[in-house]
Structure 1
Amino acid sequence: MIQQGTALNTEVNHFGFNSNFNKNKVFVDFIYKDTEASKVLELGDQVLEINTIDFTNITTKNKCTFFNNGIIPKEADQIVIKVARDGKEFEFELKKARLL
């Protein structure tokens, strides 16, 4: 056998949730188990704001930007996320945590 490459031990740091676009809005569509996000977010929460970036009216132009770059700035280790759930607004601080 010939060695093809080496496996690298990689770390995955994440805020514990994923989001998705539905029309002109952003929603929480996946939450990692046993994370800070799993304690405060719920599936279907509408993301209103992350670190003062407004997600209440996504346009075609900024949707492409957010889709390609993500809704969370890559350099962020902590975020303040504001969500809407059942007609109420909630705000939480989340820190990036090691998942793997």
Structure 2
Amino acid sequence: MSKDVSDAWWTKAFDASYAQRYAHRNDDAAAAEIAGIISRLRPPSGPIIDACCGAGRHLQYLRESGFKAWGFDWSWPLLGMAAERDFCRRALVRA
């Protein structure tokens, strides 16, 4: 009953068109979301993991805010977009 991963629904749902479909989820919104989260948290004792980081919107602002943060995602197209961000380039893993 095993299916090839390339047939999985999420291989198409999180391809390069994801960023276009959800363009309303922009960098300004991510910055505001991270600012709201940071204001409610104690300083972390270790690195922050941005699971399913996608194009790196939240990871960018975490790292710009001085946090040691790493992002992982399965989507090569979205990781490619994240890698174009200066603060994300060396903080990404495909998983």
Q: Same fold (TM over 0.5)?
A: no
Which has a greater percent of helix? 2
The TM-score bracket by the shorter chain reads under 0.3
Q: Which protein, 1 or 2, shows the higher relative CO under an 8 Å CA cutoff with sep ≥ 6?
A: 1
TM-score by length of 1: 0.22
TM-score by length of 2: 0.23
